[in-house]
Amino acid sequence: MKLLKLLLSVLLLLNLAGCGSKIELDELTFIFGIYIDAGKEPGTVEVSISSPLPNRLLSSTQAGGGNVKSHFMVSKTASNITDAVILIQKDLSRRLEISHIKVIVFGEEYARQGIDEALEWFKRQPEFPLGTYVMTAPGKAKEVTQLSAIFEQLPDQVLMNFSEENLLFATTVKDCLLAESSKMGYAMNYLSIGQNSHLSDEGKPVHWAGIQGAAMFQQARLRRTLHFRESRALAWAAGHLSGHLNLPEYTITWDEEGSGKATALFLSNTSSIRSVLTDDGPVFYVKLKGKVSITNFQDSLGRKAVELSSIVIEKLQAAVVKDVTDALLATQEAGADILQLGMRVEWNYPEEWKKLKGRWEDYYTHDVKIKVTSAFSIQDLGSVK
């Protein structure tokens, strides 16, 4: 009994020994954002990191502290990402820590050359969170760090919120890796960068970032970008579009002069995809569902909304189906299977997939048939029926 108590006491004392390999927090530099661009010299890559400055975060939010930067950025160019990160580390007095990273941004030139090296690097870092959001920027990715975080403390938080709030796509590193392993396509948010003169910082226009569309990838290369309307339709078909934060809104018209007009706000939106194997190969059916609220209604003949509800639904379904069909045609032209229809063939028709697997990209571009339908209902007609 005494021996048992002695052993228990020793075990408890061992728990108090602490960790021999511990690193204090004030010895670390936490990276919140990584921005990857093609270098000026062919075959090189420029890596930029963004990190918060904890000692300045509070002062930057206090009155009179608007000119105090709450973060810093370091950029280095090398032949590969690993060497660029090592060069960054040499210039810092603290050890880089990537376990808290929030966002990855690829510059458009780098994305067109291929992001396969970056994905491989992310995968090989044990502490790297695979749930990190990824997006593409026009021009240089590092220019995005100049944006003014009006509602947040850090630019990285602004970019992260674009995906967290599911404004369009919420693509993560894990999504990209899974798609690449299956040789499927994927899409991510395509940012916009500019200046907003309506908001000023000490009398100067602030840098502003937003989402202008989607960037489509296949085989780790940017194939094509889409405008926002097409991107919204593609996100809907893919099941990524938010149903409560970024509510799709459509305005449709009727009568020869288009004098009849109604605006429908989607209160919910879902999609489903099914495949059918025919003698001519697999056919895919994309069905869109949603409930709408009529926020604006005008009719030249003075008819009420309830009288024309069937016309409104018919016009609305035609408009949405056209947008989604056009977006899917764009993915086929780019050879990017964003909906990952090939995986559905593999799951449901393995024998057919054996025939198509080696030439799926070409088959998707030229032979895949996708039929889009919709089923909408009006939840309310507004205060005037």
Digit-by-digit pLDDT tens for the chain (385 residues) are: 666 767 777 666 666 655 554 555 455 667 888 999 999 999 999 999 887 766 555 544 444 444 556 667 888 999 999 999 899 888 877 777 788 888 999 999 999 999 999 999 999 988 889 999 999 999 899 888 877 666 666 777 778 787 877 678 889 999 999 999 999 999 999 998 876 655 555 556 677 778 899 999 999 999 999 999 899 899 888 887 654 446 688 888 887 666 788 999 888 888 899 999 999 899 999 999 989 999 888 888 888 888 888 989 999 999 999 999 999 999 999 999 999 999 999 999 999 999 999 999 999 999 999 999 999 998 887 655 5
79 and 225 in a single domain? The answer is: yes
Distance CA 172, CA 111 (A): 15
Query: Of 216, 243, 270, which one is at a domain's C-terminal end?
Result: 243
48 and 164 in a single domain? The answer is: yes
174 and 268 in a single domain? The answer is: no
223 and 256 in a single domain? The answer is: no
Under 8 Å CB-to-CB from 242, ≥6 apart: which residues?
Answer: 165, 166, 167
pLDDT score of 63: 40
334 lies in which domain range?
247-385
- Give the number of domains in the chain: 2
Distance CA 214, CA 137 (A): 10
Would you say residue 7 lies in a domain?
no
The two tokens of residue 377 are 């209902």
Strands (E), 138-259: 186-201, 204-218, 221-227, 249-254
Backbone angles phi, psi at 57, to 5 degrees: -60, -45
Q: By the 8 A CB rule, do 52 and 154 touch?
A: yes
The two tokens of residue 274 are 């099914």
Distances in Å between the alpha carbon of 68 and those of 13, 76, 202, 211? Answer: 47, 24, 12, 27
Distances in Å between the alpha carbon of 107 and those of 104, 213, 321? Answer: 10, 15, 32
239 and 255 in a single domain? The answer is: no
Distance CA 76, CA 87 (A): 6
Distance CA 173, CA 122 (A): 8
107 and 228 in a single domain? The answer is: yes
Q: Which of 191, 385, 372, 168 is nearest to 297 (CA)?
A: 385
Would you say residue 9 lies in a domain?
no
40 and 124 in a single domain? The answer is: yes
The pLDDT tens digits for 264-310 are 988 888 889 999 999 989 999 999 998 999 988 888 888 888 888 89
Q: By the 8 A CB rule, do 144 and 50 touch?
A: no
The two tokens of residue 263 are 């605006």
228 and 343 in a single domain? The answer is: no
Would you say residue 4 lies in a domain?
no
Would you say residue 91 lies in a domain?
yes
The two tokens of residue 139 are 């021009």
Query: Of 212, 243, 274, which one is at a domain's C-terminal end?
Result: 243
Distance CA 191, CA 181 (A): 26
Q: Which of 253, 224, 252 is nearest to 327 (CA)?
A: 224
The pLDDT tens digits for 16-57 are 655 554 555 455 667 888 999 999 999 999 999 887 766 555
235 and 256 in a single domain? The answer is: no
pLDDT score of 382: 67
The pLDDT tens digits for 24-34 are 545 566 788 89
Would you say residue 12 lies in a domain?
no
Distance CA 324, CA 285 (A): 12
Q: By the 8 A CB rule, do 20 and 29 touch?
A: no
Q: Which of 58, 56, 90, 97 is nearest to 74 (CA)?
A: 90
Would you say residue 357 lies in a domain?
yes
DSSP sequence for 322-364: HHHHHHHHHHHHHT--TT-HHHHHHHH-HHHHHHHGGGHHHHH
Q: Write the CATH number for 296.
A: 3.30.300.210
Q: How far is CA 129 from the centre of its chain?
A: 16
140 and 69 in a single domain? The answer is: yes
DSSP sequence for 211-229: EEEEEEEETTEEEEEEEHH
Query: Of 210, 243, 276, which one is at a domain's C-terminal end?
Result: 243
238 and 270 in a single domain? The answer is: no
Distance CA 289, CA 377 (A): 8
pLDDT score of 351: 94
369 and 273 in a single domain? The answer is: yes
Q: Which of 180, 167, 162 is nearest to 33 (CA)?
A: 162
Would you say residue 13 lies in a domain?
no
Would you say residue 1 lies in a domain?
no
pLDDT score of 371: 96
